[in-house]
Amino acid sequence: MNPIRIALLGAGTVASGVVKVLERNQEELRRRAGRGMEVVAVAARDPEKARKALGNRSPITQDFMALATRPDIDIVVELMGGIEPARQLVLAAIAAGKHVVTANKALLALHGNAIFAAAQEHGVMVAFEAAVAGGIPIIKALREGLAANRIEWVAGIINGTTNFILSEMRSKGLDFDTVLREAQRLGYAEADPTFDIEGIDAAHKITLLCAIAFGVPVQFDKVYIEGITKLQGADIRYAEQLGYRIKLLGITRRTPAGIELRVHPTLIPATRLLANVEGAMNAVVVQGDAVGATLYYGKGAGAEPTASSVIADLVDVTRLHTADPEHRVPHLAFQPGALADTPILPMDSIHTAYYLRIHVRDEAGVLAEITHILAENQMSIDALLQRPSGENDQHTDVILLTHETEESRMNNAQDRIQALDSVLAPIVRLRKEELR
């Protein structure tokens, strides 16, 4: 049988990994997919740079649209990133009857519903394993391996850049900017690294996991997002003294009232496997009602790990492209007509536990005032530390861990504590999850 014909849009980090792995493993891939896979052309805006990145193998064009819709192409692989022109190219490829493989989580988080609907209409597949957690086959696991389960929650370290930064800051005491530059040099960071450090990239990914886990549309506009840029070294150290590590987690959880969907720095017990995921590694825990907790761990970024997922999608599409579209795995795991309208909860309705660092005047009665306010809001304390702030003998840091409560109660209590005369600086508040 003739090889399946692939067009690559973009010739950067991931594209170079795809070309390399396709070439290195071509014989093995042919045996898996049942036919060969050939990159027949690449679209890049700078052909010279692309030739260097890819090793001058396939013809290079600057006309992205012509390649995305060329009649002899079977699969268009979008590895440009960003929203436009990627969105128009993907939609044009779908309209021209091409299957699409993409690693573009930003595009799918914002426009996934329209893209999947267009793919459904034209009977083609849009595969996106590489869009979440790089080389970890988490989409496949959630959509197929765990299909028997009612998923209860998903929590993951799904941004390699921020995990790398947090790990290096904690273990080597390096500063934020130095580590960020190193993550960029290693090819982990997005073209705009604010997407990584402000939690937006993780939010794109958890939005996709949420849709697949619970059978709801993709709803990026409903995610609560807090990145790591305001995190201070003092809190990383205090958390450690209390037996916790701070990780940027994407969390989505089914509750009787709706679905929680959030990204924020989170204290997790240092003994949890997730707390020990270091460097650019990613890990996702999925809690299903039948299987219990399962953990997926691996490289979340980089040329070849990401290529591993892109090529797994290419193998899937090659195997299935002649199958009846009605009998393929649905894009969002649930049949398109069976998506639920379960609401995404506003942030003040979520339930979690908290870490508070309160910089106070060191005098009698201050702690009593704080604990009184927490008690009035039906919040109970799990652990407490008091540490000299180092700046002034009469000032001290009070560090509190609470038990789980509704965020609205915490907001109310925090506002009242902040207003006390004895509280001398803005309270630092982080969320804490036991992940039981």
Q: Which residues are catalytic?
A: 205
Whether 241 and 385 have beta carbons less than 8 Å apart is answered as: yes
> Measured between alpha carbons, how far is 68 from 94 in angstroms, rounded to an integer?
9
CB of 203 to ligand NDP, least distance (A): 13
Residues 6+ apart with CB under 8 A from 399: 238, 242, 355, 356, 357, 358, 384, 385, 386, 387
Q: Which stretch binds ligand NDP (CB under 6 A): 12-20, 329-337, 340-348, 365-373?
A: 12-20
Whether 339 and 168 have beta carbons less than 8 Å apart is answered as: no
Instruction: Give, as ranges, the residues between 124 and 153 that touch ligand NDP (CB under 6 A).
Output: 130, 134
In order, the DSSP letters of 250-312 are EEEEEETTEEEEEEEEEEEETTSGGGG--TTEEEEEEEETTTEEEEEEEE-SSHHHHHHHHHH
Q: For ligand HSE, how many residues bind (rule: CB under 6 A)? A: 11
> Measured between alpha carbons, how far is 397 from 21 in angstroms, rounded to an integer?
52
Binding-site string for ligand NDP from residue 82 to residue 121, where x marks contact by CB under 6 A and - marks none: x--x-----------------xxx----------------
Q: Is 128 in the site for ligand HSE (CB under 6 A)?
A: no
Binding-site string for ligand HSE from residue 267 to residue 306, where x marks contact by CB under 6 A and - marks none: ---------------------------------xx-----
Q: Is 80 in the site for ligand NDP (CB under 6 A)?
A: yes
DSSP 154: E
Output the CA angle 210-215-218, nearest 5 degrees. 55
Residue the block writes with tokens 């970890």: 136
Q: Which residue, 401, 403, 399, 379, is CA-closest to 389?
A: 399
Interface residue with ligand NDP among 4, 10, 76, 265 (CB under 6 A) is 10
CB of 160 to ligand NDP, least distance (A): 7
Q: Pick the closer one to ligand NDP by CB: 12 or 112.
A: 12
Residue the block writes with tokens 């398109």: 336
Whether 296 and 141 have beta carbons less than 8 Å apart is answered as: yes
161 binds, among ligand HSE, ligand NDP, none (CB under 5 to 8 A by kind): ligand HSE
Q: Which stretch binds ligand NDP (CB under 6 A): 4-12, 206-214, 264-272, 362-370?
A: 4-12
Which amino acid is it at 269? Answer: P
E-assigned strand segments in 290-378: 292-299, 351-361
Q: Is 250 in the site for ligand HSE (CB under 6 A)?
A: no
85 binds, among ligand HSE, ligand NDP, none (CB under 5 to 8 A by kind): ligand NDP
Instruction: Give, as ranges, the residues between 137 and 196 that touch ligand HSE (CB under 6 A).
Output: 159-161, 188-190, 196
Whether 371 and 401 have beta carbons less than 8 Å apart is answered as: no
Binding-site string for ligand NDP from residue 42 to residue 71, where x marks contact by CB under 6 A and - marks none: --xxx--x----------------------
Interface residue with ligand NDP among 6, 8, 11, 154 (CB under 6 A) is 11
Q: Pick the closer one to ligand HSE by CB: 188 or 224.
A: 188
Q: Pick the closer one to ligand NDP by CB: 83 or 385.
A: 83
CB count, 10 Å around CB of 337? 7
249 binds, among ligand HSE, ligand NDP, none (CB under 5 to 8 A by kind): none
CB of 302 to ligand HSE, least distance (A): 8
Q: Which residue, 118, 123, 105, is CA-closest to 212?
A: 105
CB of 264 to ligand HSE, least distance (A): 16
Binding-site string for ligand HSE from residue 332 to residue 361, where x marks contact by CB under 6 A and - marks none: ------------------------------
Helix-strand-coil percent breakdown of the chain, rounded to 5? 40, 25, 35
Reduce the DSSP state of residue 387 to 3 states and report it. strand
Binding site for ligand NDP (CB under 6 A): 10-15, 44-46, 49, 79-82, 85, 103-105, 130, 134, 187-188, 190-191, 301-302, 306
Binding site for ligand HSE (CB under 6 A): 134, 159-161, 188-190, 196, 201, 300-301
